[in-house]
C-alpha cells in the first residue's frame, strides 16, 4: 500500500470517527458540525483539523486518539524491522528468537 493510500485511508477514518462521535452525542455542540454546515455527512478530516485549531474539545479528543493509535502502529512497524528511521534503527540479532526483546544497544546499532 502506498503512502498516499495510507494517508487517504487515515483521513477517511478520522472523518468516520468524527461522524460517529457526533452521532453518539446528540445535542452536544461541536465546531466540527458548524464547519460542516450542520451536515454530519460533510465532515472531513480537514474540518476536524480546523475545529481542533479553533479549540473544539471533540476535535481535540479525536486528534489525540488518532495520534495515540498511529504512534502504536508506527512503533509496531518499527519493532518488526519494516522501517529504518535513520537515526534510530531497530535490529534483532540473527541468533535471537523471534519473541526475544532487543537489547538497548541494538536500538542504536
* 8 Å CB contact between 48 and 65: no
- pLDDT mean by block of 10 residues, the chain; 109 residues: 80 92 89 95 95 95 89 78 58 52 41
C-beta separation of 82 from 90 below 8 A: no
Four-point Cα dihedral 94, 96, 102, 106, nearest 10: -30
CB neighbourhood size of 34 (10 A): 14
Q: What is the pLDDT of residue 5?
A: 83
CB–CB of 22/40 below 8 Å?
A: yes
Q: Could you say which DSSP state residue 40 is in?
A: G
Q: Can you give the pLDDT at residue 31?
A: 96
Task: Give how far the C-alpha of residue 81 lies from the chain's centroid of Cα atoms, to the nearest Å.
Answer: 20
Assigned C-alpha cell, 16 = 468516520
Q: How high is the pLDDT of residue 94?
A: 57
Rounded to two decimals, the pTM is: 0.66
pLDDT at residue 43, as a whole number: 96
pLDDT for the residue 89:
53
Amino acid at each position: 500500500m502506498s503512502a498516499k493510500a495510507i494517508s487517504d485511508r487515515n483521513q477517511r477514518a478520522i472523518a468516520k470517527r468524527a461522524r460517529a462521535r457526533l452521532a453518539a452525542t446528540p445535542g452536544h455542540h461541536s465546531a466540527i458540525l458548524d464547519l460542516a454546515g450542520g451536515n454530519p455527512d460533510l465532515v472531513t478530516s480537514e474540518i476536524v483539523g480546523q475545529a481542533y485549531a479553533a479549540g473544539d474539545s471533540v476535535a481535540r479528543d479525536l486528534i489525540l486518539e488518532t495520534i495515540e493509535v498511529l504512534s502504536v502502529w508506527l512503533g509496531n512497524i518499527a519493532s518488526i524491522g519494516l522501517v529504518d528511521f535513520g537515526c534510530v534503527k531497530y535490529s534483532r540479532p540473527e541468533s535471537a528468537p523471534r519473541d526475544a526483546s532487543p537489547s538497548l544497544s541494538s536500538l542504536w546499532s
